[in-house]
Chains A and B, each alone.
Chain A
């Protein structure tokens, strides 16, 4: 379904995040520290293109997380700040 450059949503992070999380992530609750909007990860707006994905607050576009997929690693930045976690996946 996701074969176009426009934004999708956090539903589509389920696969990439499954490589590094033990719990299914799309129901995870998130609250935006900028505008206060709250909801599940599934409803964040997600911009590509792959292999780099940026999830943003639907209310104010603040970055919620960034994820970059490499062959043997996933890089994850939480909250839009600098400093990424690198998870070995292979």
Chain B
């Protein structure tokens, strides 16, 4: 049987498609093996960078390995802990709020007495030119949180000015900063509630 005849046969077509699927799957499996270590390393580097941004200073442990998983405001939260001589000095974790176009994910760092060391937006889908001023590349707004804690400003003032709080909103975009402020506030409440577990040096 030559190729012309063969191509019309059902078993040939089925076999051909199966063979292509097998080969491409094998290629993908190989590619995954070849790249997964490098991808994991690159993601760990990214994580380290975002941790370093919200938590300046030198600590003597590897934050990425010193984690704790607790129940937070939106499901489980992975907390990265920074220590000096075994004592937990600061914690970093992720919080989310609702923006104008979906969730806004932030990393926030807190010292052991609950002061904010930094907040950074790591993922958002806000409108370019309006809502994206929450990025450090586009504006300085996010630095407003530095040094603040629950009490300064007081609990009910953790809101944008339009809602009677102390944080600025942007011209044309209130929902975005409101989402970020709410996210940060939820993080502070979470810290407050779980403080004893978070700061337990032995765990």
Partners in one complex: no
**Chain A residues near B (Cβ < 8 Å):** none
